[in-house]
Amino acid sequence: FNNRLEKQSQEFNDQIRSLQRTLTERFDNHESSQTADLREIQADFNERIGQLASDSLNQLRTTHTELSDELDALRQDQAQRVRNMQTETRQRDDELRQELLNLASTLEYKKTSRHELAQMLVELGQRLASDTAE
C-alpha cells in the first residue's frame, strides 16, 4: 500500500511539475507575445505622434509664412498710404501758400497809398465845407 501511495504521489508530483512547466511555458509565451504586442503598439504610437508633430510643425510654418506675408503687405500698404498723405499734404500746403501769395498780391494792388488817401480826405473836406456854405 505504501508503495502504491508513493507511486501515486510520485505520479502526482510528476504531473504537477509537468503542469507547472506547461503553465510556465504558456506564461512565458503569453508574456513574450504581450511584450511584442506592446512594443508594436508603442512603435505605432511613436510613429503617429511623430507624424502629428511633423504635421503640426508644417502647419505652424505655413501659417507663419502666410501671416508674415500678410503683415508685409499691410506694412507696404500703410507705407504707401503715408507717402500719399504726405504728397497730398505738400500739395495742399503749396496750394494754400500760392493762394495766400495771390491774396497778398491782390491786396497790395488794391491798396491806396497814403498820399492818395490824404488827397481824398482833403477833397472830402472841401466838399463838406462847400455844402455847408450853401
Confidence label for 5 from pLDDT (cuts 50, 70 and 90):
confident
Residue carrying the nine cell digits 504726405: 86
Q: Quickly count helices (H) and strands (E) in the chain.
A: 2, 0
Examine the pLDDT at 134 and tell me if it is beyond 70.
Answer: no
**What residue ranges do the domains of the chain occupy?**
2-133
Examine the pLDDT at 67 and tell me if it is beyond 70.
Answer: yes
Range scoring the smallest mean pLDDT among 21-35, 41-55, 106-120:
106-120
Q: Summarize pLDDT for 73-131 with one digit per residue, the tens.
A: 999 999 999 999 999 999 999 999 999 999 888 877 777 778 888 998 999 999 888 88
DSSP code of residue 1: -
